[in-house]
Structure 1
Amino acid sequence: MNVAPLPEGDWIRGISIKQPWTTAILTGAKTIENRPRPWAPGWLLLHASVQIDRRALRLPMVARTIRGRELPTGAVIGVARLTGCHQDPDGAPPCTEFAQPGAWHLELVDVQALALPIPARGQLGPWRPAEDLVDQVLQQLPHLRP
């Protein structure tokens, strides 16, 4: 896997994910995130983008996962540690029911929800959060460190 390391001093990045997928990760049901390219391991701010995947709301596996939960958008709502990336071998069954064939599956562990969503702007691909955003996350999760 050809993945560029994080620049010196970078220990956390942001990942923007449409709802309801972000909330499915926070529940622990969705342990991977599908992406077109692999990412380097490390801590991620889970940013719920402003767009909602409305088709996904009708999928039974999603509906039962997010039932009764709020779906905040345009905010960082949690953190997770990315431990690796993989693609399912051709012809093999998917690694989870949330896996998309042909995509890179970012393996997420140590998922923690924030008590209060932090409004923020995300972007495509891994993004570097501003220091004040990281400070706001650390106020809610003071034990989180590189």
Structure 2
Amino acid sequence: MNGLPDHDWIRGISIKQPWTTAILTGAKTVENRPRPWRPGWVLLHASQQIDRPALRLPLVARTIRDLRLATGAVVGIARIAACHQDPEGTPTCTEWAQPGVWHLVLTDVQELPLPVPTRGQLGPWKPTADLLRQVFQQLPDFRP
């Protein structure tokens, strides 16, 4: 598969829109989760659900203005570079971070030219070989 490792090296993360698109723009550099995740590569899956109240938040509206909100598909990849919680009583690490939860620090974000429809699930999930083939056909120069 394009010289990519054939072992267990990548997971999927399902994120509601508009948050997924905010990550793809490069503005949202953390994903908020109730539990920590290990560093490593993840497929960015836009879940079927849209967080409609989030669309009215000025920070979100400015970031995703006029962008398409794909749902039910892998729309990109990213690397979780770190995972942390901000100390209680201190400011959050970014304006996108929520207090009291784990912050997955996302780097090396790459948007796919075409979304790849698939089902996601809660928590880290293991993508199929066929899904990985479809994703990495669109990123021929990608190397983990």
In structure 2, C-alpha distance between the alignment counterparts of 1:134 and 1:142, rounded to whole Å:
12
Shift of 1:138: 0.7
The equivalent of 1:64 in structure 2 is 62
Matches within 5 A, 1:112-123: 112-123=110-121
Once the two structures are TM-superposed, the CA of residue 130 in structure 1 deviates from its matched residue by: 0.4
Q: CA deviation at 1:143?
A: 2.1
Unmatched segments (≥5 aa) in structure 2: 1-5
Moved over 3 A (4+): none
The one-character-per-residue Cα deviations of 1:98-144 (angstroms, maximum 9, x if unpaired) are 11111100000000000000000000000000000000111001222
In the alignment, structure 1 segments of 5+ residues that lack a partner are 1-7
Does 2:143 correspond to 1:145?
yes
Rounded Cα–Cα distance in structure 2 between residues aligned with 1:27 and 1:34: 17
SS of equivalent to 2:98: coil
CA distance in 1, matches of 2:78, 2:30: 11
What TM-score, normalized to structure 1? 0.93
1:47-75 deviation per Cα after TM superposition (whole angstroms, max 9, x unaligned): 00000000000000000000010000000
CA distance in 1, matches of 2:143, 2:128: 16
Cα distance in 2 for partners of 1:12, 1:144 equals 13
State TM-score, norm by structure 2. Answer: 0.94
The number of equivalent residue pairs is: 139
Question: Which one of 102, 105, 118 corresponds to residue 104 of structure 1?
Answer: 102
Q: Percent identity?
A: 74
